[in-house]
Amino acid sequence: MNKHRSAMCADFNRLAWTDAELDALVSVYLADPSLRAVIEMGGKRIDVAAAVMAQRHARAILGDNDATMQQKRLAVRAAILVHPIR
């Protein structure tokens, strides 16, 4: 399997995540960003903190004292969903 096809398959597997699973990951991260939250799937991993740090929008929202909790939750969730699976 070529590298591009492998990445596509890994990204397709994200569709198998439930909203509850994603919400739990977001909650764990927001409760204590210093804890290491890692998603493992099919031998691949996503580090939630790395996903957040890789997304400028997520960093901006989390650093904004006026941002609502819902905005923060959505920013972390989006960061997880767009971060590459390695």
Sequence ranges of the domains in the chain: 3-82
Four-residue CA torsion sign, 53, 32, 19, 15 = positive
Mean pLDDT of the chain: 83
Question: CA 26, CA 69: separation in Å to the nearest integer?
Answer: 11
Question: 0.85 cut: is pTM over it?
Answer: no
Give residue 45's pLDDT band: very low, low, confident or very high (50, 70, 90).
confident
Give residue 14's pLDDT band: very low, low, confident or very high (50, 70, 90).
low
pLDDT of residue 11: 54
More confident residue, 71 or 35: 71
Contact 29, 69 (CB under 8 A): no
Instruction: Tell me the mean pLDDT in the region 62-68.
Output: 97
pLDDT of residue 37: 82
